[in-house]
Chain A
Amino acid sequence: MTDIASPSFVRHDLVNERPAPVKTTGFIGWVRTRLFNSPTNILLTILGALLLWFTIVPSVRFLMVDAVWSGNDRTACLAENAGFAVGACWPYIQAKLPQLIYGFYPEAERWRVNLTFVLAAVLLVPMLVPRLPAKGLNAGLFFFAFPVVAFFLLHGGGIKGFGLSWTAGLLELFDDSIIGAGNVLLNLSKTSAVAPLLWVIGNLIVLVGTAIHWLVFPLIWLRDQIQGSGQSVWVDFAVTTAVVCLIAFFLGGGLRTGWRALASSFATFVAIAIVIKLMGLDHGGLPIVLTNLWGGLLVTLVVSVTGIVTSLPIGIALALGRRSTIPLIRIFSIAFIEFWRGVPLITVLFFATYMLPLFLPGNFTVDGLVRALIGIALFTGAYQAENVRGGLAAIPRGQGEAAAALGLSWWKTTSLIVLPQALRHVIPNLVNSFISLFKDTSLVSIVALFDLLGSLRASFSDPKWSTPSTAFTGFAFAGIIYFIFCFGMSRYSLFVEHRLNAHRRN
């Protein structure tokens, strides 16, 4: 028998412990794998750290540590008075804050601006939170009711009539222009080579115009009667309410299913009546504040919100026009979109400021702010059209064909089936366009409107606050405001994109 207890190939003592493997988890491991895993990376890490050190530390020192926090004029922010190298001069911002937010808006009326801001926030926040209900009502309020209310709040003034007088006025204008066009053709026919043709067409147009004139005559007569009475706004309002509610009732299906439409339109008119009564629009409204007194953040927000609200319908119309099967409309849309996309915004603003007044009748002046708004709406509308077109192209043909198979008309197919899906697809792109619109509003300062940046620039020239650090302080303040808005919007667009792509994640 052999001794099996101690054969030569069996170990007699324990193996020494191996050293622990290099740690790849936790903070130390993370630092090893992400920062110091190779000589190049060590070098890059050091460079990056140095870069951060030389940018962040001076910024923090400027904004907080070395800053002057109180004072009445420039002397507080001079190095010889403060006793150290002065950073940001915050009392300058405190002194200029009203100008940076309201411009020259009269001090007694600034509550109106604040109220508008609050209203906008109250309407906007529920719209942005996807979980909250009643998105349709909310969107309607924000996109239709809010701009009107905000106009009467910010600008002031009242109304003389209501729907009836406006309709009558518009129809009268339309009719006049038709008769005018006919008369022009008749005049031309006296000298032209194709005189008989022009004469026939001109007479036809004048005939149509006269016919329309007799058609709308009762409306105009009614308008004149109402204007004659003392309570013109309220009588007009009552008539308009009755007419619109009746139309809604019959379009909604009459006695069978029309009650719902009747109720909702009646509720809308009650709400409008409350607003008119509250703001006293029927007798003059709030005191008028002309737009050349507006300024600062107010103008920035007014321009961007108006741009957002107006550019989307323009964009949708142009995008649908570009996909239209009617050649003339398609060509017009393409030319329109490519024109506005091909020129810089600043030339558009120059166009709106210098050329637009020439295009309008001499007795018709347009406010400077409105001119800039028109330019920005057209410009942004062209960009939004391209975004919407991307969404429309992403909808499978089958959707439209299925709708057509169900017997829906083009309008119903577009507004109920195609557009809702297409717009939902491109929300991130639309928000990105809104961000660039918000940044582009700063350009209105070039055409003599004082937005946030324009007011800031104007405040630099105040000798009371001219110190070496004034410009940097002002830019830091305005930069923070712009950054908060733009960064907030871009995060929101990311959030929406994430939500929309939920089915693609795994």
Chain B
Amino acid sequence: MSTEARKPPPQIALKIRRALGGKSGWNGIVVQFAFAAILGWIAYEIVSNTRANLENQHIAAGFGFLRNNAGFDVNQTLISYTGSDTFLRVFVVGLLNTLVVSVVGIVFATVIGFIVALCRLSPNWLVSRVGEIYVEIIRNLPLLFQILFWYLAVLAALPNPRQSISLLGIAFISNRGLVIPRPIGESGFEPFLAILALGIVVSLGLRFYARRALFERGQVIRIWPSVLALLFGLPLATMLVFGLPFTFELPQLKGFNFAGGSRIIPEFVALTVALSTYTAAFIAEIVRAGILSVHKGQMEAGSSLGLSRGATLRLIVVPQAMRVIVPPLTNQYLNLTKNSSLAVAIGYPDLVSVFAGTSLSQTGQAIEIIAMTMGVYLLISLVTSAVMSVYGWRVSRSLGA
């Protein structure tokens, strides 16, 4: 008599059902087939219609147009660009302009947002009211409204370059934009950069070592004097040896406009101001909510351990608040990047403006151009959300441990 367990029945139908329909069984399979058929039919209709329409309009599909000459100028370029460059170069120019305005906007938005959040959390009644008024006004007006307000009303009302407003005599604001001193590299530039990079790397290493020592042996190492020396003393010493790394070329008023210095176009100024003040209002609310989310008992426990208020904030409250703050904050950074596409309304040459605007109207290649533009933004946001889900996974793991 055999004592082996019998083999389970093969249940082929069950396995097929499981593989094809997941948890939902035969019904699910039928629905899936119907859904796939409808999707396929819609896709077929779109493709055939598009083909017929493009043929009627005599537009050749494909990305060949990217190698053609663009033939128009762009008034802010980070890389060299002339009208005889290709559309691909226009794409890169626009993308870089988008990234520049986003990064500058993110920096300012973070700074303003944290300041406003601190104002709102302040025990001082007046200051917290000022913060609240700021947040309420900015959040309840459309961003496009604010961009146009800065561009059409405020910047247009500024005086012309001859009567421009001087900031300490080195930068000038006028209706032609902002003129700032331009750094010019000198002979000592490369050693200066190298030493600075070295200083940063060594400081990070020192910090790592000090924290190891603190956590493993409980030994407090005071590193800030050496870090200070590394970050400021060493570059200063290099400057003495190799000469100045760069000098500034100050803008001079000549005739009706400024000569020298670098000019920041008014569109950039208006867009940066509007984007950073707008996003700052949202960041302020996120930061406030994050800090309020830390239980009051944490602060009290910190002070009962004898930590000062600053140390409690730095070591106990802020690290816990950051867990709540970082995901929505990243979301706001992403929003700012996407909102920078509103540049098209005031003619700042960002990706949407020069590529999906000017290039589209010149070539008529709507499908390729809009697909590329959407693809760039989609790529940025998907990469960011992937990074954020890794972050969330790490945070939840560290909380669980």
Establish whether residues A49 and B44, one from each chain, have CB atoms under 8 Å apart when the complex forms.
Answer: no
Distance in angstroms from B128 CB to nearest chain A CB is 9
Beta-carbon contacts of A353-375 to B below 8 Å, as 1s and 0s? 01101111110000000000000
B126 at the interface (CB under 8 A from A): yes
Establish whether residues A490 and B140, one from each chain, have CB atoms under 8 Å apart when the complex forms.
Answer: yes
Establish whether residues A34 and B124, one from each chain, have CB atoms under 8 Å apart when the complex forms.
Answer: yes
Chain B residues, CB < 8 A from A472: 153, 157
Distance in angstroms from A473 CB to nearest chain B CB is 9
Establish whether residues A354 and B44, one from each chain, have CB atoms under 8 Å apart when the complex forms.
Answer: no
A338 at the interface (CB under 8 A from B): yes
A453 at the interface (CB under 8 A from B): yes
Chain B residues, CB < 8 A from A41: 123-124
Which of B22, B35, B143, B156 contacts A471, CB < 8 Å? B156
Establish whether residues B46 and A343, one from each chain, have CB atoms under 8 Å apart when the complex forms.
Answer: no
Establish whether residues B127 and A48, one from each chain, have CB atoms under 8 Å apart when the complex forms.
Answer: yes
Name the interface residues of A297-319: CB closer than 8 Å to any CB of B.
Answer: none
Minimal Cβ-Cβ distance residue in B for A34:
B125
B370 at the interface (CB under 8 A from A): yes
Distance in angstroms from B69 CB to nearest chain A CB is 22
Binds A, one of B234-242, B293-301, B372-380: B372-380
Establish whether residues A325 and B378, one from each chain, have CB atoms under 8 Å apart when the complex forms.
Answer: no
Q: Using known A-B contacts A342-B377, A351-B374, determine if residue A48 contacts B141 with beta carbons closer than 8 Å.
A: no
Binds B, one of A111-119, A133-141, A475-483: A475-483
B36 at the interface (CB under 8 A from A): yes
Binds A, one of B197-205, B308-316, B335-343, B393-401: B335-343
Q: Does more than half of chain B's interface fall in helix, strand or loop, or is it mixed? A: helix
A66 at the interface (CB under 8 A from B): no
Chain B residues, CB < 8 A from A479: 141, 145, 149
Establish whether residues B41 and A44, one from each chain, have CB atoms under 8 Å apart when the complex forms.
Answer: no
Establish whether residues A35 and B125, one from each chain, have CB atoms under 8 Å apart when the complex forms.
Answer: yes
Binds A, one of B47-55, B172-180, B188-196, B224-232: B47-55
Establish whether residues A325 and B144, one from each chain, have CB atoms under 8 Å apart when the complex forms.
Answer: no
A482 to B24, CA, bound (A): 47
Chain B residues, CB < 8 A from A429: none
Distance in angstroms from B269 CB to nearest chain A CB is 17
Binds B, one of A144-152, A213-221, A280-288, A436-444: A436-444
Q: Using known A-B contacts A326-B32, A347-B341, A453-B145, determine if residue A34 contacts B123 with beta carbons closer than 8 Å.
A: yes
Which of A48, A329, A346, A435 contacts B124, CB < 8 Å? A48
Beta-carbon contacts of B339-355 to A below 8 Å, as 1s and 0s? 10110110000001000
B107 at the interface (CB under 8 A from A): no
Q: Using known A-B contacts A358-B54, A471-B156, A483-B137, determine if residue A347 contacts B35 with beta carbons closer than 8 Å.
A: no
A341 at the interface (CB under 8 A from B): yes
A271 at the interface (CB under 8 A from B): no
A30 to B342, CA, bound (A): 45
Establish whether residues B153 and A475, one from each chain, have CB atoms under 8 Å apart when the complex forms.
Answer: yes
A52 at the interface (CB under 8 A from B): yes
Minimal Cβ-Cβ distance residue in A for B381:
A342
Chain A residues, CB < 8 A from B153: 471-472, 475
Minimal Cβ-Cβ distance residue in B for A326:
B28
Which of B49, B130, B149 contacts A52, CB < 8 Å? B130
Establish whether residues B360 and A354, one from each chain, have CB atoms under 8 Å apart when the complex forms.
Answer: yes
A338 to B386, CA, bound (A): 12
Establish whether residues A343 and B377, one from each chain, have CB atoms under 8 Å apart when the complex forms.
Answer: yes
Establish whether residues A346 and B381, one from each chain, have CB atoms under 8 Å apart when the complex forms.
Answer: no
Distance in angstroms from B73 CB to nearest chain A CB is 22
Which of A342, A443, A483 contacts B144, CB < 8 Å? A443
Beta-carbon contacts of A313-345 to B below 8 Å, as 1s and 0s? 000000000001111110010000011011111
Q: Using known A-B contacts A329-B35, A351-B374, determine if residue A44 contacts B352 with beta carbons closer than 8 Å.
A: no
B31 at the interface (CB under 8 A from A): yes
Chain A residues, CB < 8 A from B387: none
Chain A residues, CB < 8 A from B137: 483
Distance in angstroms from B112 CB to nearest chain A CB is 14
Establish whether residues B382 and A332, one from each chain, have CB atoms under 8 Å apart when the complex forms.
Answer: no
A347 to B380, CA, bound (A): 14
Chain A residues, CB < 8 A from B142: 439-442, 453, 482
Number of interface residues, chain A, beta carbon within 8 A: 63
B220 at the interface (CB under 8 A from A): no
Beta-carbon contacts of B293-334 to A below 8 Å, as 1s and 0s? 000000000000000000000000000000000000000000
Chain B residues, CB < 8 A from A442: 142, 144-145
Beta-carbon contacts of B35-70 to A below 8 Å, as 1s and 0s? 110010100111001101110100000000000000
Establish whether residues A358 and B367, one from each chain, have CB atoms under 8 Å apart when the complex forms.
Answer: yes
Chain A residues, CB < 8 A from B136: 487
Establish whether residues A342 and B366, one from each chain, have CB atoms under 8 Å apart when the complex forms.
Answer: no
B148 at the interface (CB under 8 A from A): yes
Which of A184, A328, A486 contacts B140, CB < 8 Å? A486
A234 at the interface (CB under 8 A from B): no
Name the interface residues of B3-53: CB closer than 8 Å to any CB of A.
Answer: 21-24, 28, 31-32, 35-36, 39, 41, 44-46, 49-50, 52-53
B247 at the interface (CB under 8 A from A): no
B187 at the interface (CB under 8 A from A): no
Establish whether residues A346 and B341, one from each chain, have CB atoms under 8 Å apart when the complex forms.
Answer: yes
A20 at the interface (CB under 8 A from B): no
Chain B residues, CB < 8 A from A339: 378
A181 at the interface (CB under 8 A from B): yes
Most buried by B among A30, A51, A328: A328
Establish whether residues B140 and A343, one from each chain, have CB atoms under 8 Å apart when the complex forms.
Answer: no
Establish whether residues B366 and A44, one from each chain, have CB atoms under 8 Å apart when the complex forms.
Answer: no
Most buried by A among B36, B144, B342, B377: B144
Chain B residues, CB < 8 A from A52: 126, 130
B163 at the interface (CB under 8 A from A): no
A170 to B387, CA, bound (A): 47
Establish whether residues A482 and B140, one from each chain, have CB atoms under 8 Å apart when the complex forms.
Answer: yes
Establish whether residues B126 and A48, one from each chain, have CB atoms under 8 Å apart when the complex forms.
Answer: yes
Establish whether residues B126 and A359, one from each chain, have CB atoms under 8 Å apart when the complex forms.
Answer: no
Minimal Cβ-Cβ distance residue in B for A484:
B140
B259 at the interface (CB under 8 A from A): no
Distance in angstroms from B281 CB to nearest chain A CB is 12
Q: Using known A-B contacts A354-B370, A486-B140, determine if residue A343 contacts B345 with beta carbons closer than 8 Å.
A: no
Distance in angstroms from B32 CB to nearest chain A CB is 4
A354 to B360, CA, bound (A): 9
Establish whether residues A45 and B352, one from each chain, have CB atoms under 8 Å apart when the complex forms.
Answer: no
Minimal Cβ-Cβ distance residue in B for A490:
B140
A to B CB contacts below 8 Å, 9 in the list: A45-B126, A338-B382, A351-B370, A355-B370, A359-B46, A359-B49, A361-B49, A362-B56, A442-B144
By a beta-carbon cutoff of 8 Å, the part of chain B in contact with chain A is: 21-24, 28, 31-32, 35-36, 39, 41, 44-46, 49-50, 52-54, 56, 122-127, 129-130, 136-137, 139-145, 148-149, 152-153, 156-157, 338-339, 341-342, 344-345, 352, 356, 360, 366-367, 370, 373-374, 377-378, 381-382, 385
3 closest A-B pairs by beta carbon, nearest first, are: A486-B140, A344-B338, A439-B142
By a beta-carbon cutoff of 8 Å, the part of chain A in contact with chain B is: 30, 34-35, 37, 41, 44-45, 47-49, 51-52, 177, 181, 184, 324-329, 332, 338-339, 341-347, 350-351, 354-355, 357-362, 435, 439-443, 445-446, 453, 457, 460, 468, 471-472, 475, 478-479, 482-483, 486-487, 490
9 A-B pairs besides A37-B123, A486-B140 with CB distance below 8 A are A30-B125, A44-B126, A45-B127, A326-B32, A329-B35, A346-B341, A357-B53, A441-B142, A442-B142
